[in-house]
Amino acid sequence: MRIRYRLLDLRLGAVSMAVRAILKMGDPQLLQVARPVTDFQAPEFREAVLDLRDTLAAVKGAGLAAPQIGIDLAVVLFGFDRLVRYPDAPSVPMTLLVNPVIEVLSESLEEGWEGCLSVPGLRGVVPRYARIRYRGRDEWGGQIDRTVDGFHARVVQHECDHLIGRLYPTRMQDLSRLGYTSVLFPELTDPSAD
């Protein structure tokens, strides 16, 4: 049985807004492999797109995957100009990516700090492939095909992991480098949020 939460649902004419609750680590829905999207016009998918956008905007995160808001579809949303939580991160274009496939272009791994909206209050050092090509569809079924590195590559790998039921602590190699954001990065203004 799936429980769906709707914290805020404003309907203003044709405009609807829904900020959903974000599931936290321990919820079995975060451990599932997400279903691919087959119909880009399906109401279930269109609603998922809106809810991802509204929810990510509300929490000011770097990215969000559909399973994190209880939607069993292979859809992720990521991107930002500048993040309070990652002040040193370069900008990444706002991207809604459907049915993603990642190709590793360099076997070399880079370590970097990650947080997750489903693991609130914590950060950990996670190794990720330094350079990847990712392909998938945009929200209307158009092709997306990008070759990226650095933080952009990290964000994509983190978000796509949510679609195969993986959370970043399961990618860590040294759990002594997992800790509370408020302790590790006390200078951040919003340390409790992720």
Active-site annotation, residues: 159
Shortest Å, Cβ 68 to Zn ion: 6
State the minimum distance, in angstroms, from the CB of residue 13 to Zn ion.
33
Q: Is the dihedral of CA 110, 111, 112, 115 positive or negative?
A: positive
Residue closer to Zn ion, measured from CB, 54 or 159: 159
Which one, 46 or 100, has the nearer CB to Zn ion?
100
Task: Give yes or no for a contact between 22 and 68, defined as CB atoms under 8 angstroms apart.
Answer: yes
Long-range contacts of 164-167 (CB under 8 A, 24+ apart): 164/33, 164/34, 165/30, 165/31, 165/32, 165/33, 165/67, 167/25, 167/30, 167/116, 167/118, 167/119
Nearest CB to Zn ion, comparing residues 137 and 158: 158
The rounded distance, in Å, linking the Cα atoms of 133 and 130 is 11
Backbone φ and ψ of 114, nearest 5°: -135, 150
Write down the least CB distance from residue 4 to Zn ion, Å.
19
Pick the closer one to Zn ion by CB: 19 or 116: 116
User: Which residues lie below 8 Å from residue 76, measured CB to CB, with a gap of 6+?
Assistant: 63, 64, 65, 66, 96, 97, 100, 156, 159, 160, 162, 163
Residue 118 exposed, middle or buried by CB count within 10 Å (0-12, 13-18, 19+): buried
Least gap, CB of 116 to Zn ion (angstroms): 3
Closer by beta carbon to Zn ion, 123 or else 137: 123
Tally of CB atoms within 10 A around 29: 17
Q: Residue numbers of the site for Zn ion (CB under 5 A)? A: 116
CB of 16 to Zn ion, least distance (A): 25
With CB atoms as reference, the residue minimizing the distance to Zn ion is 116
